[in-house]
Amino acid sequence: MLVSILKSKIHRAVVTDTFLNYEGSCAIDEILLDKANISEYEMLHVYNLNNGKRFTTYAIKAKKNSGAVTLNGAAAHLAKKDDLIIICTYGQIEIKNVKKIPPTLVYLEKNTNKISHIKNQIPIQC
């Protein structure tokens, strides 16, 4: 049996800009994409911490070391500059492999798009 499982997460990214009149997507600094194991054109699930909106789009590369995380096209209506978002990807794997393939979790410094640390496990919640 296949199950959908968290593959990658960029936690608390800051939206650096929005561009309504652009082909829909989410541009993410190439370094963040690489460290989070997110491929260009991969489907993204985006969760806006400021307004609670959740949506899907796809990843495109932004300039390396730019710190850019921009929402383009229709997604530009769902967040504004300086909103905090969580970006996730999911993959389908055999249920027997769930514990063998951990997610890549990229945590960012407060109010920046600079990497604080990377983990592969979320602590048990209370």
> Hey, which residues are catalytic here?
25, 58
Beta strand 104-108 with 115-119 is: antiparallel
Closest CA to 28 of 59, 55, 65: 59
- CA dist., res. 85 & res. 49, Å (int): 6
C-alpha dihedral, 43 to 73 to 63 to 53, nearest 10°: -60
